[in-house]
Structures are given as C-alpha cells and as structure tokens.
C-alpha cells in the first residue's frame, strides 16, 4: 500500500503554498507508506503547474531507484497498486532496459510510449495513478476497473486536487467541505 496525492492548478499559483499543501496531504498518507516521501513539480508552457506526491511502502524493490514520483525523462508517475501481468507486458513491449524490479517502472515506461486507455485496458491488477506527460503537457489520472485502489478528487475551474484517501484530500484545505 502506498499513498498518492497531487494538486494541479490551471492558473499560476504560489508554488511555496502549493508545496506546503502537498506536504500536508502526504503527512495524512504517511501510514500508507512510511518508507519514503517525495514530490515533484510539474508545469506546462501555458503556465499550468502543480505537484505530484507519493508516500511509499517498499515491498518488492527496496532500492531507492524505485521511489516515486518515478520519472522517465518525459513522464512523472505516482502510482499505488500491483500489476499482476507485468511479465507478459515486459515481453509484449520489449521492456528490457529496466533499472528496477518494480512494476512502477513498467507502468511508467508503458505510459510514456502509449495512450492511457490502451495501457490501462491491458493491466491485470489493482491500481490508481497520476501521470504527467511533459511532451504532451497532459495530466492523466486512472484507477482499476473495480476501484480496488482508491482515488478521490476535487475539480473546479482553478484546480484539480486528488489523493488516495479522503482525509488527505480534505487536508489540502483547497475547497470547502460541506457535510
């Protein structure tokens, strides 16, 4: 189990405030991944920008190279889940230049080269992720068909906020909660 969180502004925000927002969200996800906590800034040529954050529970590949956000050079990924058919996908897409034994890298490499719908339709597993493709300047969010891995979000005209848990989303304090 890991935790993912992010905020993406459609206008230029105060990035120091945005960083403190992500830190609060990740603090609320610490129990999902106490082994590592990282964030990355994402931005477009249009001025949109934000941050992706991740808390890691290191289970399979304990090497720090498998920490997230995972970057391929063109894509930044925060991911929670497990892909059961990773060996089949490695063979089908000839993924031999991997630097980790983590399925996170496989997800990132596939998303880097293919569209999200094609890739997620091939996944056999449970997952939730956010991926920012720098060349396409697009942020993608996805989760498995049965929602085994949670992904909560809030969207308005100025921003998109998402997290693995509702309490982390609320901790952003970027919207009013009406119970």
Active-site entry in 2, 49, 139, 151? 2
Q: Which residues of 146-173 are buried (b: 16+ CB within 10 A; e: fewer)?
A: eeebebbebeeeebbbbbbbeebbbbbe
Residue 2 falls in the annotated catalytic set: yes
| Residue positions annotated with a catalytic role | 2
């Amino acid at each position: 189990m890991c935790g993912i969180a992010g905020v993406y502004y459609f206008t230029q925000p105060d990035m120091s405030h945005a960083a403190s927002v992500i830190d609060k969200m990740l603090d609320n996800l610490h129990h999902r991944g106490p082994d590592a906590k990282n964030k990355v800034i994402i931005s477009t040529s249009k001025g949109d920008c934000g941050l992706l954050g991740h808390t890691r529970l290191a289970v399979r590949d304990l090497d720090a190279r498998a920490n997230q956000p995972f970057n391929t050079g063109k894509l930044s990924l925060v991911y929670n889940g497990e892909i059961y058919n990773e060996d089949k996908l490695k063979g089908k897409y000839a993924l031999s230049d991997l630097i980790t034994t983590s399925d996170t890298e496989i997800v990132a490499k596939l998303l880097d080269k293919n569209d999200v719908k094609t890739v997620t339709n091939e996944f056999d597993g449970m997952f939730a992720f956010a991926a920012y493709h720098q060349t396409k300047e697009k942020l993608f969010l996805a989760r498995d068909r049965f929602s085994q891995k949670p992904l909560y979000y809030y969207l308005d005209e100025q921003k998109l906020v998402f997290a693995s848990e509702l309490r982390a989303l609320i901790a952003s304090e970027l919207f009013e909660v009406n119970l």
